[in-house]
Structures are given as C-alpha cells and as structure tokens.
Amino acid sequence: MIDHDGYRPNVGIIIANAQNQVFWARRCRCDGWQFPQGGIQREETVEEALYRELYEEVGLECGQVEIQGRTRGWLRYDLPRAYRRSGGSRRFRGQKQVWFLLRLTGSDADVRLDLSTAPEFDAWRWVDYWSPIDAIVSFKRKVYRSALTELAPLLER
C-alpha cells in the first residue's frame, strides 16, 4: 500500500527499559542496526500494526509493554534507489512512519527474535537513548532524530 505521494505507511517502535535505554537490533544477514519497524496493512490501525510488528520482529506481546506515547504525525524518509527492490512500484519513494515509545514491562528473557518464519533480526542489545541517531544509516537519521526528540519527554513520566 503506497499513498499518492509515494510513501508506504509504516510504524516505528522504540522500546525503553527501566533505565531508559532503548532496544537496538541487528538486521539478519547484514551489519545494519535499527529500531523495529514495519508496514501497516490494509484495514489495520496503526496500533494493530504496532502490536503485530512487535510480536513478529521482537516476540513481545501487548501485555509485556506499555505505550508511553506516539509521534503526532507522519515522519517521512526517502529510500535511496540503490536500496529499492527491483520490480517495485515506480511511484515508491520511501516510508512514512508513526513512531511509538513503549516501556518494557516484561523481562529481557521475553524478547524472542526467532518466532517469525523469516526473522528480521539476529541480535539485539540495550543502548543509550540518543545513540541510534549516530548509528543509523544516513537516510533515516532525520526521522530518528525527530522521533527520539519528540518522544524523549515521555520517558520522564
């Protein structure tokens, strides 16, 4: 599903622990680290997509996290042509995302990267809240900075 501007609706997920560190995961078969994220399917609300992606990518269920907040609007990034799938839509430009900040209420042992038939991640760790801005690929950096900045005040609640 791509909107009229060429962006695929998506959710981004920032999971914080009790020490306000955030969940940082390594994509399978590469050395790229990122927050969990995924597309919103037709007829699915952003919260339904959040919980589906959370379970598919991280193995966490809604009872193991609390939503602290979400971004007010869509944050967009353009995907460089070199990263686009061949045979994909010519209209496709990138992702538009609603970002959620979650608090882990379960334990680290609840994280399961192997529940999907095609896992997205093969490793994870807790990192300082702001460190993903410098570690993410450059074309996502502005979105990460915007999401983390908007959601940071919610950590203090």
pLDDT at 89 over 70: no
Half-sphere exposure of 43 (CA within 13 A, CB side): 0
CB 16 within 8 A of CB 35: no
Q: Is the entire prediction scored with pTM above 0.85?
A: yes
Q: Is residue 1 part of a domain?
A: no
Q: What is the CATH number of the domain that holds 98?
A: 3.90.79.10
- Average pLDDT over the chain reads 94
Q: Is residue 2 part of a domain?
A: no
Number of residues in the chain: 157
Per-residue pLDDT tens digits for 129-155: 999 999 999 999 999 999 999 999 999
Q: Is residue 157 part of a domain?
A: no
Q: Is residue 89 part of a domain?
A: yes
Number of domains comprising the chain = 1
Per-residue pLDDT tens digits for 90-108: 789 999 999 999 999 999 9
Cα torsion for 145, 148, 151, 153, to the nearest 10°?
-100
Domain boundaries, position 17: 7-152
Work out the pLDDT band at 84, boundaries 50, 70, 90. confident
CA triple 94-9-108, angle to 5 deg: 100
Q: Is residue 35 part of a domain?
A: yes
